[in-house]
Structure 1
Amino acid sequence: MEVRSMDSRISLDPVAAGVCTLLTSYLRLSAGNRLLVRVTSKEGGESRIPPQLRQVALELGIALTVEVLADNAPFDGAELPAFDALLYAGINKSKHRNELKEALKDGLETPCYRLFDLSPEVFALCFNMQQSHMAELNLKIIEAARSAKIIKIRSRNGTDLSIRPDAQADWTSSYGWFDGTYPGVLPPGEVNSYSEAIDGTLVVDGAINTNFAFDADPCLHGPQVRLHIGNGRVTGIESSNATVMAICETLFSMENGNRIGEIGFGTNEGIGQLVDFRSHINERLAGFHIGVGSPIQKNPYITWTCPLHIDFILASASIWFDDRLVFSNQRWIRTALPADTHGVVPDLYADTV
């Protein structure tokens, strides 16, 4: 009988390999450390956790404790100093959102994280890049984008979009980093900002994501949506997808519902495919997306708001910063990005909490 080492066994199972990278690279845990995972009964409780999490933690020598929280469970911070990391894991809810922020503000030192889209897919697809590599890529993109006069998005399907970066806008580098103020947000892999100087046509061939539930496949399976954009607003839409049209009719009927609240660059090159459920996974896919509706950042000079937010995600595109092609064929072109990121600091590390 063949006996494999722990690393060999893990590498043969994409979910286990992703769990291993999550624990060691993103949560920075090692043998002898203690991890507390909190899940909610409303989102499936412990049944949502793949068995590979316990198996890999055991093999790595990490003591794992899982707590299943009832809907009305109060926040308990007394036990947290005994753990080396806290992970809230769920589908799309932020349990104890305000309480955790207050605990961190009051001096809680235990590194805290939130993992959305809890599923086998999130582990198998989203943790194929080491955190340090993603952090470096994000910084290079931010440095290049900040200095660009114009960003152009193009595709064979007809996308031809021009964006002028806003010097007042923040730049977020989301790669699961815990900065002591907000939980590290997972799955990792996005850079985003804000601009009102957006003009052109966006042909959406990837997926949509929303901050509200809808009962349909978010994947578009081709160029099904065409958005016409002027001065940072959607001025027209054409689509063969009835679900998208119904959602957009609701959004566009609201005040500010046609305004673009986010320009987003997916940076997780390990994902490689879209998933057929509403998720952050699709947004993290390497490439480009825009968010229409609620602005993703709370910069004081952004004075408008909207209750809904819809992301339109491209499956294929080329991205240009001025005259430099920086993204093509689902990959960021490292040689077209700054070699030195010394001194580059993102404005934010979390795009949701």
Structure 2
Amino acid sequence: MKKHPLLPIRQQIRYRHGQGFESVRGKFSIFSTSFLNQIRMRAKGSMTSLFNNTSLSRNKLTTFGILIFVVAAEFFLHHYLTNISLPESLVKGKGKVCVVVRTYHKHASGYYRLVDSLTSLMQQTYTEWEALVFQTDDVPFPELEDIIANLGDSRIRRLNLGLHRYSHGESAYSLTDKAITHCSEESKWLVVTNGDNQYHPLFLSSIDARSDVTTVNWYTRYSLMMRPKREALCSRWDGGTCRVNRFQFARTDLGSVILSLDRWRKESLKFSEQVPNSMQDGQLYSRLRNELLWKVHHVNRCLFHHNPNPRSCNAKGGIWKEHGSPPWEGLCVTPEEAARDLESGRYIAYHSTEEGSELNCMYRS
């Protein structure tokens, strides 16, 4: 079992069940353990006081009753909170979700693979979804058919929208709009993401059917965007890698929201109608919030990995390498590659601690 990069040993969970994310069971285990330790201490004191005097007064009988209650409470907390399951209302009944997955040939291998992204969808506790996978450029991706076929999930299908030259500014948003039109008629919700991203199993369960959009916090390689001097160093991660979703330009992410597909269709919305600067998602989301007044439900938990990012990189066994321009870019490299860069003297190792966990990073000397 690989170690979760954020949590203590008792909260470790396998990557295929949400590694790199907060563990629901672990969270409640911490609560229940702390609470149980307190009531155990109180119970021990009551027990000592009770049996130091063989005369059972009314007060001591009351104390004995409290002791029985404490034991029962401990049993309940241990067996319920550490084995918590989702209520049925959270798992079904909100309508089908259409997940549009943008991919290209580099998602076939490496630390961030399409198969891992799709697997994170298959592990969702909310099972009413479909995934439409399409290619965003004109470079052959011969493995794509086999990747989907080998997963053996009928909810995942490939869209053949043809091969198109990719441009950074347009960022395949015209193709994305076209892919959205292929969502099934019964789909009520929309998620648009990239083939290297991954989701916590509770992501789709977080849908609030009373709202037009549900947003979640996300792990990212972007941070402190207004402070470039600090961003050039790994110390920018000392404050954590989870970002709060504001559902507005430069403060949200394409794959971190679940949109009402009914309203999307009704208002004939399109990413491609925004300014082609590769940030069409933030532009459109700001418009939904500020102009079209979509009702937003925010889930204050990190349930999404925008990859690559330092946390998922370390969780997968890699080392985060700060580089590039703008200075907040970086990539995940193998330990062997990291060792070569460090030995050359071109990079400096940085070890960060957050919430008792470790982050291994390197930056240019």
Same fold (TM over 0.5): no
Higher strand proportion (structure 1 or 2): 1
Higher helix proportion (structure 1 or 2): 2
TM-score of the aligned structures, taking structure 2 as reference length: 0.28
TM-score of the aligned structures, taking structure 1 as reference length: 0.29
Larger radius of gyration: 2
